[in-house]
Structure 1
Amino acid sequence: MASESTVTSNSTDDERPKVVVIMGPTASGKSKLAVDLASHFPIEVINADSMQVYRGLDVLANKLPLSHQNGVPHHLLGTVSPNEEFTAKAFRDSAIPALVSPFLLDDSAEDMDESCLGDPPGITQSENSFPTENDGSSYGYDLLKDIDPVAANRIHPNNHRKINQYINLYTRTGVLPSKVFQGKAAENWGQVDNLRYDCCFICVDASLPVLDRYVEQRVDCMMDDGLLNEVYDIYNLNADYTRGLRQAIGVREFEPLLRTCVVIDMYERERELTEGSRVEKGKTLFNGNLMEMVRSSNDTESTILLEEAIEKVKVNTRRLVRRQKRMLSRLQTLFGWNIYYVDSTEAISSKSENAWARQVVEPAVKIVKSFLSENGSLSSTFGTSNDTGMKIIQRDLWTQYVCKACGDRVLRGLHEWEQHRQGRGHRKRISSLKSKGQFPGFVEQKVEYS
C-alpha cells in the first residue's frame, strides 16, 4: 500500500528522527513520487509494499525497475524469500536497521526508547507454559478462549498468527492480553505522538474512475510483459495461497487455468521421455509468452479460463483500491493521523509529466520542506482531509458486533463493524430485505465482555 522514504534531518523540539511516508492506493504513483523526491532531498527509500518485499514476480508485484530508480537506494525491495511469511513485525525489525544506519540518520536514533519492541511496561516474566503448535487447527483458538475469552472474541478463529501471539504473551507475562491492551495502552496505540519516529504522511491519491481505468490498463500491460509466465513458474498444485508471495492478487486467480497447463505440461514431459527425448530438469515446455500461446491455441476451455482470470485480477485490484482508501480514512478517524494529500488524477488520466510535476511533485516537495524546517509545523500551512470536519471516533477494540442481516456475521471492534456497514454487500442485503418487507427489527447485536 505504501512506499516509505526516509529523509536525513536534525530534529529540534521533537527529538525523534524524521521520516517521510509516501502512501496511497494501488496505481496512484507512490514509487514514482518517492524517486522524484530524491532529486530534491538526500533520501533513501524503504519499500513498505507487502508484496514487493519478496524476491521474484517482478511483473506481478509491479516492482520499480532498476532503470527507473535513478540511482536512489531502495531497501526491502525483492529481498525476502517468496515462501516466507513476512509479517509487520518482520518489516519493523528489517526497516529499523536501515533507518538508524549512519547514512540515513544520526546516532540519536540509537538512543530511542526500546520499550515499543518488548513487553508492555510493568510486565514481568511468568512461569506459565502452554503449547502453541499442535495438530488441531482449532486447538489454539480454544485454548485462547479458555485463557482470555475477551481477547478470543477480538480475533478471527483462523488468525493463527495472532492467536499464537496472544498465547505467547500470556505465557511470558502471565497477564491477559485483553488487560494489556486496555486503558492507556489501547488509548495510545497507533497515535502519531506514540510512534517511534516523527512522521510526515503524504498520500498520493486519484479519483476512483481514473484509478479503475488505469488498473485495467496496467493489468493488460502486465499480461503482455509475461505475468502469466511468472505465475506459472511458482505454481504448485498443493501451494498455500494464504502465505508469502502466493497470496498476492494475480496468483490464485489463474489457478484454474494453470491446473490445465500443468496437466498438459506433465503429459508432454511423459510423452517425450517415453520417446527418448531429453527434458532438462526444471525446464518448462512453455518457453514463449504463455498468454499468447493459450489465446492462439484451439483449446476453447483454456482461452475462456484465461479471460476469466484476467477479469478477476482486474476486479480484485479495483476492490483492493477501495479497501486501501477506506484504510487511509480509518487512519484519520480512528488514530487522528494528519495525512497530506496530493492529487495524481490529471497526471494519470492525461499521462502528462508536466501535470505530474505540477500537481504531485511540487506540492509534495513543499510539504517535505516545511516538515524539515526549524519549527516542523505543517498543519497551519497545508490542509489535510481532517480540515473537512472529519471527526475522530472513539476506538473500540474489544466489543463484538453481530450483523443479523448478513447471516449472523461476527465483526470484532467498532472499526470492523463500521467498515462492514459501509460495504456494498451489506447495503445490498439491507436494501433487498427492505424491498421484500423482511427487514429485521435490528441488524446489529452488540456483545460486550468485561
Structure 2
Amino acid sequence: MSISLSMCRLIRQPLTSNVQCSGKKLNMRQIQKENVVLVMGATGTGKSKLSIDLANYFPSEIINSDKIQIYEGLDIVTNKITLEEQKGIPHHLLGTHNPNIEFTSNDFREKSTSAIDLIMSGGNLPIIVGGSNSYLEALVDDDDYNFRSRYNFCCLWVDVSMPILRSYIDQRVDQMLNSGMVNELRPFYNPNGDYSKGIRKAIGVPEFDEYFRRESYVDDETRKMLLDKAVSEMKINTWKLAKKQLGKIDWLKNVKRWNIHRLDATPVFKKHGKEADETWKKIVAEPSAMIVAQFLYNSRNPANVVKSSSNLRVPISQGDLMATATC
C-alpha cells in the first residue's frame, strides 16, 4: 500500500505500521485523516435539501455555512430550513448568533472546526452546507494548513441553469412576501441602523428601509409603489448574489483547483410535485450519495453501499471500515 499526505482516505482500524511513500517513511497514525463533505451552490438551488438527503443515507450532522443564516431571526427572509424540513437531523451554527454582532470568517473557521470535532466524536459525518463560499474557502485554505492536514473533503455543487434559477428566485421572493416577510422585517428597521454588519446585511433589510421610513406618511397608492420597489430590489440583489456565488465556485474549481462534483438540478426546476421529487432523487440525491460513498469507503460498488446505508443511522465509527489511499 502506498500513502499520500495529500490524499488519505478514511481509516477506522488502528494502524501502527510504517509505510514508504515517495522515499519517506511515514507513520500511519500521523497521517490519518477524517472526512468532511461540503455542499455548495447558488442561493435557491436546493443545497439544504441535498444535505438532508445525504444525512438519510449516511449518519451525519449538518453545519450551516450561510453567513446570514448564522444569526438569530429573519427566518423567512434568510430562507432558513425549518424544523420540519430538518427531519430530526442535528444542525449546527444555524440561527445561533447575536444578529447585531458581526460573525467573521475567522469566527466561522473556529466555530465550524469545533462543530466538526464534536460531530466526529459521536461517530457521525460532518456535512457543511451553505452559499457563503468565502466561509468555506477560509475554512479549507486556512493560513496554517490546519484543515487540509486533518481532513479529507468532498465537494458537491448543486447547479441550476441561470435563466431557470432567476425565475425561481423571483418566485421565491414573492412567496416570502406572502408568508409574512414584511412583518418579520419591521422590527429590524432602524432609521439609524447599520446595514454593513450582522443580520442587517441580509437582502431584504436595506431594500425595505425606504418603505418603513415612509409607510406611515403616504397614501395607499404610494405605499404600494414603495412595496413593489422594495420587492423588485430584493429580486435584483438576490440574483446578483447568485451570480457572485457562482463566480466564487468557478474560482475555487478552476483557479484554486478544488475537486468539485457538479450536479445539474435544472430538470428538477422544470417539473412540479411528485415528478419533481422523483427527478431530484434520480439526478441529484442518488448520484450525490454514490459520490459520497466512493469518497468515504473507496468502494468500487458505491451503489451497494448507498443501498445498505439508506435509513441506517448508526455511527460510522462503529463499522470496521478501512479504505485505501494512493500516492
- The two structures have a TM-score, normalised by structure 1, of 0.54
- Give SS of 1:245's match: helix
| 1:353 pairs with one of 250, 272, 277 | 277
CA distance in 2, matches of 1:81, 1:33: 27
Partner Cα distance (2:175, 2:86) in 1: 20
Q: Which has the higher Rg, Structure 1 or Structure 2?
A: 1
Contact 2:45 2:265 in 1 (8 A): yes
Q: Distance in 2 between matches of 1:225 and 1:55?
A: 18
Displacement, 1:20? 0.3
Matches for 1:365-384 after TM superposition, within 5 Å: 365-374=289-298
- The residue aligned with 2:76 is 59
**Paired residues, number:** 258
AA partner of residue 324 (structure 1): Q
Partner of 1:80: 97
Superposed CA deviations along residues 186-220 of structure 1, whole A, max 9, x for unmatched, are x9969899464211000001100110010010000
Structure 2 counterpart of 1:21: 38
Q: 1:302 to 1:58 in 2, by over 3 A?
A: same
1:30 corresponds to 2:47: yes
| Distance in 2 (alpha carbons) for counterparts of 1:23 and 1:339 | 9
| Residue in structure 2 matching 1:89, options 87, 106, 116 | 106
Contact between 1:192 and 1:337, CA under 8 Å: does it hold in 2? no
Q: Amino acid of the residue matched to residue 238 of structure 1? A: N
Find the aligned partners of 1:373 and 1:207 in 2 and give their Cα distance.
32
Aligned CA distance change for structure 1 residues 46 and 306 (closer, same or farther; 3 Å): same
Within-5 A mapping of 1:234-383: 234-261=188-215, 263=216, 298-351=219-272, 352-374=276-298
Which of structures 1 and 2 has the larger relative contact order (alpha carbons within 8 angstroms, sep 6+)?
2
Aligned pairs for 1:144-163 within 5 A: none
Q: Does 1:210 align with 2:148?
A: no
SS at match of 1:336: coil
Report deviation, 1:15.
Answer: 1.7
Q: Which runs of 5+ in 1 are unaligned?
A: 1-8, 107-186, 265-296, 379-450
How many Å apart are 1:101 and its aligned residue? 1.6
In 2, the alpha carbon distance for the partners of 1:43 and 1:308 equals 42
Matched AA of 1:39:
N
Instruction: Give the structure 1 partner of residue 133 of structure 2.
Output: none
Tell whether 2:64 aligns with 1:47. yes
| 2:16 match | none
Judged with a 3 Å threshold, the aligned counterparts in structure 2 of structure 1 residues 56 and 193 are, in CA distance, closer, same or farther, namely closer
Paired AA for residue 241 in structure 1: Y
Q: Distance in 1 between matches of 2:212 and 2:142?
A: 47
Query: How far is the alpha carbon of 1:97 from its aligned partner?
Result: 1.8
